[in-house]
């Protein structure tokens, strides 16, 4: 899987958030998008996810190049409206259905996204570390517990692309250690993009960084 940003820019009204971003994201690598709060990194992640559209430039998606193609030829191109099938997304601002229990939430998610390694719903709940709260409605969860649910559903979905926006938000030290363990185990051979406002424990495993302030 490859994501290609070509002269990408985004503006709201007359204000440009960023412009002229040229970048390639490739499956098997982890990338960090860095910037201060309000710098536009979350906006860029939403552009990549296909949930909002660019103001200028283009974003292209392609599967790996089959061996039958000559060197330099791209693999199968994917339409932006279909990219959601290949990605999972976690961010503290993404709403959970708070009337659902944890067990119901995991079951609902599994109807739309298959989990890795053929894990069943009970295994997903076990990995969250929240087994004792599986029958509790999410509206009674702490902010840190909700963030664990978001991260588990994203990282444990069987997707080629994982997008994480400030993943350590609301996590305590144990939660951060839990997140890093998930990353170590379940980010292999996937395209992972992490947005962070310079919190190293969120992204220091990423070999490549994109600083949003370079594109103002």
CA–CA separation, 59 and 14 (whole Å): 22
- Which residues 6+ apart lie within 8 Å of 114 measured at CB? 157, 158
Nearest of 149, 169, 161, 216 to residue 186 by alpha carbon: 161
CB 201 within 8 A of CB 176: yes
Question: pTM of this prediction?
Answer: 0.92
**pLDDT value at residue 64:** 63
What value does the mean pLDDT take over residues 175-181?
A: 97
What value does the mean pLDDT of the chain take?
Answer: 93
pLDDT surpassing 90 at residue 186: yes
- Tell which CATH classification among 3.30.470.20, 3.40.1190.20, 3.40.1390.10, 3.40.50.300 matches the domain 2-215: 3.40.50.300
CB 209 within 8 A of CB 29: no
For the chain, give every domain's residue range: 2-215
């Amino acid at each position: 899987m490859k994501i290609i940003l070509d002269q990408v820019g985004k503006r709201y009204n007359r204000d440009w958030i960023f412009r002229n971003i040229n970048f390639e994201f490739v499956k098997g690598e982890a990338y960090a998008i860095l910037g201060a709060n309000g710098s536009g990194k979350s906006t860029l992640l939403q552009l990549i996810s296909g949930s909002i559209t660019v103001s200028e430039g283009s974003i292209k998606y392609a599967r790996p190049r089959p061996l039958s193609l000559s060197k330099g030829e791209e693999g199968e191109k994917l339409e932006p409206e279909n990219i959601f099938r290949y990605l999972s997304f976690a961010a503290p601002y993404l709403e959970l259905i708070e009337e659902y229990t944890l067990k119901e939430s995991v079951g609902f998610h599994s109807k739309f996204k298959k989990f890795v390694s053929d894990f069943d719903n009970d295994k997903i709940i076990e990995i969250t570390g929240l087994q004792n709260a599986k029958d509790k409605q999410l509206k009674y969860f702490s902010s840190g517990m909700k963030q664990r649910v978001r991260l588990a559903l994203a990282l444990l979905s069987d997707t080629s692309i994982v997008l994480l926006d400030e993943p350590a938000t609301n996590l305590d030290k144990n939660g951060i250690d839990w997140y890093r363990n998930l990353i170590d185990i379940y980010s292999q051979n996937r395209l992972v993009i992490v947005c962070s406002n310079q919190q190293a424990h969120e992204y220091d495993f990423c070999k490549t960084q994109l600083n949003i302030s370079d594109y103002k």
